[in-house]
Amino acid sequence: MFPAKGEFDIEALVQYYADYLNLMHDKGFVITYLDVTNEQTIVTPEHTKYLHEQLPSRLNQGVSMPKLIAPSSWSVEGGIDWLKAIDRTKGQHLAFAIAAAHNTGSAGDPEVFVREAKRIGKEVWNTELHGWIGTESEDEIINSAVFWRHLKAGFTGFATWLFYGPIDGRNHTMINSNGKQINRSTKYEIFKQVVNNANGGYYVDVSSPSSAIHTAGFIKDDVLSVWVLNTGDSGFSDAVIRLPRGVGVVGELSAVKWQKQLPSEGQSFKLEPQTDRFTIRIDGKSLYFFKIQLVGDG
Domains defined for the chain, CATH in brackets = 10-201 (3.20.20.80), 213-296 (2.60.40.1180)
pTM higher than 0.85? yes
In this structure, of 3-12, 16-25, 113-122, 233-242, the range with the lowest mean pLDDT score is 3-12
Buried b (16+ CB within 10 A) or exposed e, 15-29: eebbeebeeebeeee
Average pLDDT on 112-131 reads 97
Q: What is the pLDDT of residues 144-169, one digit of tens each?
A: 999 999 999 999 999 999 999 999 99
**Banded pLDDT at 280 (limits 50, 70, 90):** confident
Average pLDDT on 274-286 reads 84
Share of the chain above pLDDT 90, in %: 75
Cβ–Cβ under 8 Å, residues 92 and 48: yes
Give the per-residue pLDDT at 207.
76
Name residue 79's amino acid.
G
Share of the chain above pLDDT 70, in %: 95
E strands, the chain, where? 33-35, 67-75, 98-105, 123-129, 157-160, 164-165, 175-177, 182-184, 202-204, 213-220, 223-230, 236-242, 247-249, 253-258, 267-271, 277-282, 286-296
Average pLDDT on 214-223 reads 89
- Is 262 a residue whose pLDDT tops 90? yes
CA distance 160 to 157: 10
Cis bond upstream, residue 110 (ω within 30): no
Give the per-residue pLDDT at 2.
46
Element housing 272 (H / E): none
Provide Rg for the chain, Cα atoms. 22
Give the per-residue pLDDT at 297.
54
Give the per-residue pLDDT at 6.
66
- Is 128 a residue whose pLDDT tops 80? yes
For the chain, give the mean pLDDT: 92
E strands, 38-174, where? 67-75, 98-105, 123-129, 157-160, 164-165
**Banded pLDDT at 4 (limits 50, 70, 90):** low
Closest CA to 80 of 111, 36, 122: 111
CA distance 177 to 166: 5
Average pLDDT on 9-19 reads 96
- Is 1 a residue whose pLDDT tops 60? no
Average pLDDT on 192-221 reads 88
**Banded pLDDT at 40 (limits 50, 70, 90):** confident
CA–CA distance from 271 to each of 80, 104, 214 (Å)? 43, 39, 21
> Could you tell me how far CA 295 lies from the centroid of its own chain?
28
- Residue 213: count other Cβ atoms within 10 Å of its Cβ: 17
CA distance 167 to 42: 38
- Is 89 a residue whose pLDDT tops 60? yes
